[in-house]
Amino acid sequence: MADTYLELVNTPLPGRIARALGLPRPAVLRRYTPGEVLAPRPVLVAGAGAGADALADVLLGWDIEVRRHVLPGEKLSAAIVVLDRASSPTDLTGPLLELGQAVKLLVPGGRVVALFRSAADTTDPAEAAARQGVDGAIRSVAHELRGGATGNGIVLRGTATTTDPTTLGALRFLLSGKSAYVDGQFLEVTAVSADGVVDLAATTGAEGEGIPDQPLAGRTAVVTGAARGIGAKIAEVLARDGARVIAVDVPAAGEQLAAVANRVGGTALQLDITAPDAAARILEHVRGRYGALDVVVHNAGITRDKLLANMDAARWDSVIAVNIASQLRMNEQFLASPVFSESGRIISLASTSGIAGNRGQTNYAASKAGVIGMVRAQAAAFDGGARTINAVAPGFIETDMTAKIPPLTRQVARRLSSLQQGGLPVDVAEAIAFLASDAAAGINGQVVRVCGQNLVGA
């Protein structure tokens, strides 16, 4: 369903009327296109210290024009604020006020990214206050940005530095058009040793050099619920990035599924993921055709909304069965199989309803919050290995699922995010492709919201 209001306010006269009346003016987002230039205008690297200096050097190596202070009137593609040394809340003042000057100069679709250490990694109250303070300030500035600009953070865990490959991988994602609808988010990164299992060097090269066009080349990925909507787009984006895709959906969606598989040059596998042998059939399919399974995207999901007072067992059970019980069962079987790669990635679809709750969705929210619980526990079990598991929590995404929402509610829902619009399936797919890539090797157990910083709840 097209967002006609967004299209309208981006034409001259209706745009002026919307401005005069103080109506929302959602911008057309800067989305990724192959060959995109990460930062056509200069990038500010605010903050002092070795971490900030080293990061500025890396960006220069990416052929980005770097500024260490705002130059009056000069437009900026991005403002990066490095606060890795903040040990008391007063340390934030200078860099954040400089950021305040920079946001006025951001081009449409500009980026704010803060790099700082985790409050969870210190027992010093003042240091923790400073670190947690960055979180609050960046979430707030993200709400203030306009013109399709976003504000996010990279949280350095443990010994991670500002220039570790995994930090740089996260930074590239946040600066690029691939993160167009990711706003008000904090990616926690840990240092990962490049031990030959993952190709981390790929994230550190200069612009146009060393960065693979196809970061998933040679990987085999299974995507459930791939016949339509977000799943079909995930299949497309993973294939664009070089993966061989196995598209899974129920037999009733067989025709659409075959069309998706053909379009992405992959294979189709008709099965119901709630069947006890679902994982076994996927593993069999992979073993016969591809050898190893590298990426699992648990995307299939359903809603059966009712107020809890009117909820029946059939609605409750079907949502739990598809959205979480099947994933638990399948993961257990994947992880027990030698077909699942030693550096395998699992990415599971949660939802902002599973974070903030949603009226009429107790069953759905239980299942999606369940996904988050599952991801965190499994990630802890992976700790130290090359496997990762993460969740992506979409907010309002323009699909068949949200087209069913009554028109007025749909209009309101769209405007309730900082970006004042719904996201597109491709926005979710890009976050998943990033988490599946080597660039995200240091990201494990995270929940990345793709919600335009929805204002409701979380």
Distance (Å, whole) CA 359 – CA 366: 12
Q: Spell out, one character per residue from 323 to 362, where the chain touches ligand NAD: x when CB under 6 A holds, - when not.
A: --------------------------x-x-----------
Q: Which two tokens mark 452?
A: 């335009």
Alpha helices in 181-277 (DSSP H): 229-240, 254-263
Contacts of 259 (CB under 8 A, 6+ apart): none
Residue 274 binds ligand NAD, judged by CB under 6 A = yes
To which H or E segment does residue 152 belong?
strand 150-156
* 243 touching ligand NAD, by CB under 6 A: no
- In this chain, which of 70, 227, 424, 448 binds ligand NAD, going by CB under 6 A? 227
Quote the CA–CA distance of 242 and 244 in Å, as a whole number.
Answer: 7
From the CB of 270, what's the least distance to ligand NAD, in Å?
A: 9
400-439 positions binding ligand NAD, by CB under 6 A: 400-402
The smaller minimum CB distance to ligand NAD, of residues 207 and 272, is found at 272
Nearer to ligand NAD, 132 or 274 (CB): 274
Minimum CB distance to ligand NAD smaller for 166 or for 303: 303
CA 186 to chain centre: 10
Instruction: Considering only residues 301 through 320, tell me which ones interact with ligand NAD, judged by CB under 6 A.
Output: 301-302
Choose the stretch contacting ligand NAD; rule: CB under 6 A; options: 21-29, 173-181, 182-190, 270-278: 270-278
Beta carbon of residue 351, minimum distance to ligand NAD (angstroms, whole number): 4
Per annotation, catalytic residue among 5, 181, 290, 364: 364
**Sequence-separated (6 or more) residues with CB below 8 Å from residue 278:** 271, 272, 326, 329, 330
342 token code pair: 């030693």
- Cα–Cα distance between 127 and 164 in angstroms, integer? 22
Among positions 290, 334, 396, 434, the unique one binding ligand NAD when judged by CB under 6 A: 396
- Number of alpha carbons in the 13 Å side-chain half-sphere of residue 107: 14
Q: Give φ, ψ of 33 to 5 degrees.
A: -130, 145
Q: Under a CB-based contact definition with an 8 Å cutoff, are residues 241 and 215 in contact?
A: yes
Is residue 26 exposed (0-12), middle (13-18) or buried (19+ Cβ within 10 Å)? buried
Q: Is 290 a catalytic residue?
A: no
Q: Which of 355, 397, 429, 433 binds ligand NAD (CB under 6 A)?
A: 397
Q: Which of 178, 228, 285, 387 binds ligand NAD (CB under 6 A)?
A: 228
Of 304 and 376, the one with the shorter C-beta distance to ligand NAD is 304
Binding site for ligand NAD (CB under 6 A): 224-225, 227-231, 249-250, 253, 272-274, 299-302, 322, 349, 351, 394, 396-397, 399-402
